[in-house]
Amino acid sequence: MITTAAQLTGPQQAVLVQPTETGSPGPGEVLVRMQACGICHSDVFVSSLPQLPLVPVTLGHEGIGVVVEAGPGVENVRAGDRVGITYFASSCGECEYCKSGRERLCPKQRNSGYSAHGALTNYAVVSAQQLIKVPLGLDAVKAAPLCCAGWTAYGALQNAALQEGQTVAIFGFGGLGNYALQFALRRKLRPIVSDVSEEKLESARALGATATFLAEDSGKRIAKEAGGAHAAIVFTGSGAAIEQAFRSLKRAGTLVLVGLGAGFALPVTEAIQKAIRIQASYLGTRQDLETVFRLASEDSIEIPTDVRRLEEVPATLQQLKAGKIQGRAVVTF
């Protein structure tokens, strides 16, 4: 079958929307008719890499679609099931991480839109192994960003290991920070938001943030004026934001790092005296993603989206790179 896909044509080469041949699903694979797929900063990141394991590669790891056909040996999903395609395409199933429910740490994992073909296509053939079922009633455009941004935000909150009533400081109020705020409120935490933009802080307050602070000296102010944070989650890649997050913490607080970036110089003595826990967070567990979809279908959890056509993917990636997209860009099919 000929389908149309947004493909990265080579390392640091153009992204083209082009016809491609899609075969029948092989053993362990399924054919999925896509409904929606979000475009993520990681797609821009992959486009900038000097080497790629698969060329050309169909991008997209925030996909929602319906299984049309299941290949031999597929047992976890069947035709008619609605599924989410994430960055995490498959794992070995045998290593210590796979066996302990931490498949995302598997050294032999394959990733959608990088080492496996992704979801920015009308029809995707993907491994069935890591697909997550998506409730039928959940709108595809709202569901798509949950596959990466929502999952990552939820996983970070899990890693923060907080109790009801405790304070979580969220650094960076883009899509992930927005999701984190909504999840935090549903867990009855006290979410505080820090960002460089007053406009974003305003939308955080409208959603129910307990307090908001402009980024510049937010760490000190959260510690002084808001009693300090039990956990601070950093969604931006900025070293300055990590530093502010460190400053905002109470004693025995947890610094959760999510945004990729250069880092900062850790004041080791102070970290030790305050018994600060530093926790890097990458995606979440399968169960986390199932919970995310359930929460979103029961109790509207959504971020602002900007709906696009598949043909607009190359231009959208450019706009994303230039920081010119408001809300999450989501392609519908």
What's the closest the beta carbon of residue 44 comes to Zn ion, in angstroms? 10
Q: Which is nearer to Zn ion, 91 or 129 (CB)?
A: 91
Q: Which is nearer to Zn ion, 264 or 282 (CB)?
A: 282
Q: Which residues of 218-250 are buried (b: 16+ CB within 10 A; e: fewer)?
A: bbebbbeebebbbbbbbbbbbeebbbbbbbbbb
Q: Which is nearer to Zn ion, 92 or 240 (CB)?
A: 92
What is the separation, in whole angstroms, between the first and last Cα of the chain? Answer: 17
What's the closest the beta carbon of residue 251 comes to Zn ion, in angstroms? 34
What's the closest the beta carbon of residue 97 comes to Zn ion, in angstroms? 5
Rounded to whole angstroms, the Cα distance separating 4 from 121 reads 6
What's the closest the beta carbon of residue 157 comes to Zn ion, in angstroms? 17
Number of other residues whose CB lies within 10 A of the CB of residue 296: 23
Rounded to whole angstroms, the Cα distance separating 219 from 245 reads 6
Q: Which is nearer to Zn ion, 43 or 195 (CB)?
A: 43
User: Virtual CA dihedral for 149, 154, 156, 162, nearest 10 degrees?
Assistant: 160
HSE-CB of 245 using CA atoms within 13 angstroms = 33
96 - beta bridge partners? none
What's the closest the beta carbon of residue 147 comes to Zn ion, in angstroms? 8
Q: Which residues bind Zn ion (CB under 5 A)?
A: 40, 42, 91-92, 95, 98, 106, 148
Q: Which is nearer to Zn ion, 100 or 163 (CB)?
A: 100
Q: Which is nearer to Zn ion, 132 or 192 (CB)?
A: 132
What's the closest the beta carbon of residue 94 comes to Zn ion, in angstroms? 6
Rounded to whole angstroms, the Cα distance separating 90 from 108 reads 8
